[in-house]
Amino acid sequence: MRILIIDDHQLFIDGIRHIVKLLDDDVDIIEANSAGDAIQCMESISNLDLVLLDLHMPGLDGTSIIQYQRTKATCFPIVIISGDDDPQTIQSVIDSGVMGFIPKSYSGKKLLNALHTILDGKIYIPKTNNTPNPDDYYKHSCNNVTNDTGITKRQLQVLELLASGHSNKKVSSILFLTENTVKAHVSALFRALDASNRTECVKIARNKGIIS
């Protein structure tokens, strides 16, 4: 598993590194202390499983990285880890297409639980009375297709490969994505089409004329 951590405070990166390594037996951590460095990493590394992003940094901030992501064909799961847990801020970044928002005030255990939720293809939002519901505010992130489902171009590619009977592993190989990224796209398709499994997802997509 390969994870990019982006934060302008090296002390925070040093601390979170030890927690993130508990996600898997083999975790490769890449570090970036600025948005510019992060974009260089994202341009040169095609198989990132997660991007953990601080929202507020000097110069180009986390929003710049989210905007950069939206222009690329490869869609990495971005997770905001921030000290700014204002409900409007959380809603704004979820609307921009990130996979989750984790407050920096979280314990290591809560952070791990949140990341496991995201790696399962679900959106994570801290549970408070004022934060948005993931199902209400979920937006698909990269290169949106103009249709009433909100399915993106990348998700449409995944959908067509699912319809051909390909496994997540095969889809990841064809599209040069990690399996976790493919899994996130598949879960997003289930939500967009109100499907509970791959067969139903493909059937609904064909009935709607999304795929042939």
Half-sphere exposure of residue 80, counting CA atoms within 13 Å on the CB side?
A: 31
159 with 117, same domain: the answer is no
| One-letter identity of residue 146 | T
> Is residue 175 in a domain?
yes
Spell out the SS3 assignment of 57-121: CCCCCHHHHHHHHHCCCCCCCEEEEECCCCHHHHHHHHHCCCCEEEECCCCHHHHHHHHHHHHCC
Residue 121 has pLDDT above 80, yes or no: no
SS3 of residue 154 by DSSP = helix
Least Cα distance to 186 among 12, 195, 88 occurs for 195
Residue 205 has pLDDT above 80, yes or no: yes
Mean pLDDT on 126-153: 56
The pLDDT-based confidence of 118 (bands split at 50, 70, 90) is confident
> Is residue 67 in a domain?
yes
96 with 10, same domain: the answer is yes
The pLDDT-based confidence of 53 (bands split at 50, 70, 90) is very high
12 with 100, same domain: the answer is yes
The pLDDT-based confidence of 111 (bands split at 50, 70, 90) is very high
Mean pLDDT on 179-201: 86
- Note the pLDDT of residue 92: 81
Write the CA distances from 202 to 55, 91, 134, 198, integer angstroms: 36, 30, 23, 6
CATH of the domain at 201: 1.10.10.10
**Between 176 and 111, the higher pLDDT residue:** 111
109 with 157, same domain: the answer is no
Average pLDDT, the chain: 82
Residue 199 lies in domain: 153-207
Write the CA distances from 205 to 113, 136, 144, integer angstroms: 32, 21, 16
- Note the pLDDT of residue 140: 43
pLDDT digits (tens, 9 = 90+) for 66-104: 877 766 655 678 899 998 878 888 888 877 778 889 999
33 with 85, same domain: the answer is yes
Which phi and psi (to 5°) does residue 46 adopt? -100, -10
Residue 132 has pLDDT above 60, yes or no: no
112 with 157, same domain: the answer is no
123 with 31, same domain: the answer is yes
